[in-house]
Amino acid sequence: MVIYQISFSQKNYLPGKVITLQHDTLTGYIDYRNWEVNPKIITFKKEITSDEITYTPLEISGFQVSDENYLSAELFAVQ
């Protein structure tokens, strides 16, 4: 007998803002994950019932959610 366990990831959309590369602010909802390290992607919705849009740090300047601010940056190693 084989037992499969299916886990469903719950979404936690909180009010937030995405800052585009053109420095426009998109107000909506961000799937907040209480990140211990900066996320590699975020999920955004313009309205709570809208389709999800995912962003990577290279696609946005930053975002704000749950009184936390995240800024995107490219880091280069200096040798």
Per residue of the chain (79 residues), give pLDDT as tens.
Answer: 555 444 456 899 999 999 999 999 999 999 999 998 889 999 999 999 999 999 999 999 999 999 999 999 878 878 7
CB count within 10 Å of CB 39 equals 17
Q: What is the pLDDT of residue 55?
A: 97
Q: What is the pLDDT of residue 6?
A: 47
Q: Is 8 exposed, middle or buried (0-12, 13-18, 19+ CB in 10 A)?
A: exposed
pLDDT recorded at residue 32:
96
| pTM for the whole structure | 0.81
